[in-house]
């Protein structure tokens, strides 16, 4: 595998479920990101990890919980989501923050 | 946050030069300007990044005036495969300070016509 991979590519979950999105980068980068892309809004940056240290974003609801166990892996844990959380969730990585980001293909999430 | 404004859509014929302008009146001193391209069902792909004046790479040029309140992405001689959404991104991440500001525009849908 090369680049940035995301699994699953599609996910349907109920509002009471708990699920996790996984991202893996094979580029040796030291920063990773989670974005949300919904139909009516621009790309929204949710979380940033630099050197495995999380940079806080207080505007993201606590029902989204990120985890970065090492520089190659990033997870987004989901629980008690709302239908308005349905969107494409994109992971990206870069070598140094603010530099060129490489995006994965995204996970299309539908919350019923 | 540096809010960005882009045209919603643009049409161009094959072989023409396309210029897409992004306005970012509140850009901060430390902010960079980055452009991404996105095809349907794919993640965005980096095109070019700059801070001021002009930057050129093998696929595009980026023009930034002295006041940095706008930027223009220039795509030379577009082809049908350049049909995509183009996003302007303004911001910088200060991981040491524990905060970040990255603002994507709503994107410009470019349609290249044969």
| pLDDT tens-digit map of A48-77 | 888 777 876 768 899 999 999 999 999 999
A75 touches B: beta carbon within 8 Å: no
Examine the pLDDT at B100 and tell me if it is beyond 70: no
**CA-angle at A9, arms to A23 and A19, nearest 5°:** 70
DSSP-based three-state secondary structure for B43: coil
Number of cross-chain residue pairs from A and B with Cβ atoms under 8 Å apart: 62
- Return the structure tokens found at B41: 């069902």
Q: Do A56 and B98 touch (CB under 8 A)?
A: yes
- Residue B96 in this model has a pLDDT that exceeds 80: no
What is d(CA B73, CA B84) in angstroms, rounded to the nearest whole number?
A: 14
Residue B102 Cα, gap to closest chain A Cα (Å): 7
SS3 A83: helix
pLDDT of residue B28: 86
Q: Which residue of B has its CA nearest to A6?
A: B43
Of B2 and B111, the one with more pLDDT: B111
Q: What is the mean pLDDT of residues B9-34?
A: 93
% of chain B with per-residue pLDDT over 90: 70
* A53, closest residue in chain B (CA to CA): B95
Would the pLDDT of A1 be above 70? no
């Amino acid at each position: 595998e090369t680049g940035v991979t995301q699994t699953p590519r599609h996910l349907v979950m109920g509002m009471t479920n708990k699920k996790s999105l996984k991202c893996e980068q094979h580029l040796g980068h030291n920063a990773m990101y989670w974005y949300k892309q919904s139909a009516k809004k621009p790309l929204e940056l949710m979380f940033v990890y630099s050197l495995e240290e999380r940079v806080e974003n207080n505007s993201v609801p606590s029902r989204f919980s990120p985890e970065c166990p090492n520089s190659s892996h990033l997870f987004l844990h989901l629980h008690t989501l709302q239908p308005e959380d349905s969107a494409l969730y994109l992971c990206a990585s870069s070598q140094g923050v603010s530099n060129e980001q490489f995006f994965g293909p995204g996970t299309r999430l539908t919350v019923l | 946050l540096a809010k960005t404004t882009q045209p919603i859509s643009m049409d161009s014929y094959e072989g023409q030069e396309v210029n897409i302008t992004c306005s970012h009146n509140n850009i901060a001193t430390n902010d960079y300007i980055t452009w991404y391209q996105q095809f349907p069902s794919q993640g965005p792909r980096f095109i070019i990044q700059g801070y001021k004046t002009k930057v050129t790479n093998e696929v595009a040029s980026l023009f930034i005036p002295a006041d940095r309140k706008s930027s223009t992405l220039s795509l030379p001689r577009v082809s049908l495969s350049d049909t995509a959404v183009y996003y302007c991104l303004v911001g910088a991440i200060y991981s040491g300070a524990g905060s970040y500001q990255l603002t994507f525009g709503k994107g410009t849908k470019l349609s290249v016509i044969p």
